């Protein structure tokens, strides 16, 4: 029996012996990570450098893209190292750091999507009062509160885990997971379990309330409003709804896998679904918002046209 503060490492047992194929998997994961970084950084730069995009909706999007970089950086470098390694171990401090990054990423994502739905509710249902209700100062305050709230909330969870007395250091997963470490404890975990369920409620149910309220009100306006109002609602809300549904699916499987026995699910499928919300979401959001939102799409086209024109001018000279 050892105390979790004295554990030097954890063993991850879900990795499969892929032989020479591990180099192919490494290249695939590396390509995905590079694509995530390039696409999200590009859209952050586009929003920051163009004054026409300095509006509440795009500032919330900027926060969302920063969070995609934050979450994927908490996962991909670690995965790349583990894929090439023959021994799948992780130091205890890094394991807790990864748990902190991934779980705060999920919380920030839900809160960001919740405040974005409220922003769309104000824009569609109260267009004349929108600029006074959602000012730049309020946007900055909302973003700071989202990140601060997520960090503080999970720091409490992490502090409860670190104090546990552990009997084992073997985790049946490809990454470090909060509840799987709690399961390793031979001390009383009642407080961890209660706060864990309370944390799930705060992370999912609380953001879900403004999301449901906002979209119900938007639907009412769509059914009773003009064709132009319906088109505006569809064009701005579709990316958010797709992003929300996709992320919710990934998080639901993550919660089910942590809390219940999923041994009947094939190992490869379990690994893919467990990483789904951290891999697909950072890829999906830049594509959805980059292609679906006309203002961002037109700005990107303008930038690419200027870049092409710049390359042609020296050739003409």
The 10s digit of each residue's pLDDT in 271-283 is: 787 788 888 889 9
DSSP E strands in 58-120: the ranges are 89-91
User: Is residue 45 within 8 Å of 38, Cβ to Cβ?
Assistant: no
Residue 159: count other Cβ atoms within 10 Å of its Cβ. 9
% of the chain with per-residue pLDDT over 90? 29
**β partners of residue 12:** 171
> Are the CB atoms for 161 and 182 separated by under 8 Å?
yes
- Quick check: 281 and 109 in contact, CB under 8 A? yes
pLDDT in tens, 162-203: 888 888 888 888 888 888 888 888 877 888 888 888 887 888
Give this prediction's pTM.
Answer: 0.87
Structure token digits, residue 212: 């449901």
pLDDT band at 4 (very low <50, low <70, confident <90, very high): very low
Residues 6 or more apart whose CB falls under 8 angstroms from that of 19 comprise none
The pLDDT tens digits for 68-124 are 999 999 999 999 999 988 888 999 889 999 999 999 999 999 999 999 999 988 988
Band of pLDDT at residue 299, cut at 50, 70 and 90: confident
Is-contact 278 251, C-beta < 8 A? no
Predicted confidence (pLDDT) at residue 294 exceeds the cutoff of 60: yes
Token pair belonging to 176: 């470090």
């Amino acid at each position: 029996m050892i105390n979790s503060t004295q554990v030097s490492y954890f063993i991850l047992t879900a990795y499969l012996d892929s032989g020479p194929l591990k180099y192919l998997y490494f290249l695939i994961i590396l390509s995905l990570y590079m694509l995530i970084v390039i696409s999200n950084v590009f859209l952050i730069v586009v929003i920051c450098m163009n004054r026409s995009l300095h509006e509440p909706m795009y500032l919330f999007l900027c926060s969302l893209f920063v969070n995609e970089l934050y979450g994927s950086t908490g996962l991909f470098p670690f995965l790349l190292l583990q894929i090439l390694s023959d021994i799948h171990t992780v130091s205890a401090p890094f394991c807790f750091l990864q748990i902190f990054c991934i779980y705060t990423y999920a919380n920030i994502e839900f809160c960001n999507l919740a405040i974005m739905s409220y922003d769309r509710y104000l824009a569609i249902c109260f267009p004349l009062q929108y600029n006074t209700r959602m000012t730049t100062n309020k946007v900055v305050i909302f973003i700071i509160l989202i990140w601060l709230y997520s960090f503080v909330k999970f720091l409490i969870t992490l502090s409860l885990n670190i104090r546990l007395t552990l009997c084992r250091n073997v985790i049946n997963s490809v990454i470090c997971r909060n509840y799987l470490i709690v399961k390793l404890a031979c001390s009383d975990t009642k407080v961890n379990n209660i706060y864990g369920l309370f944390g799930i409620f705060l992370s999912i149910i609380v953001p879900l309330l403004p999301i449901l309220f906002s979209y119900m009100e938007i639907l009412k306006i769509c059914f009773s409003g003009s064709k132009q109002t319906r088109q505006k609602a569809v064009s701005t809300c579709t990316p958010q709804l797709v992003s929300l549904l996709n992320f919710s699916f990934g998080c639901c499987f993550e919660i089910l896998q942590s809390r219940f026995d999923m041994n009947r699910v094939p190992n490869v499928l379990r690994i893919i679904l467990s990483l789904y919300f951290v891999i697909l979401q950072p890829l999906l959001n830049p594509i959805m918002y980059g292609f679906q939102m006309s203002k961002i799409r037109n700005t990107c086209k303008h930038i690419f046209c200027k870049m092409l024109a710049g390359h042609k001018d020296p050739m003409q000279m």
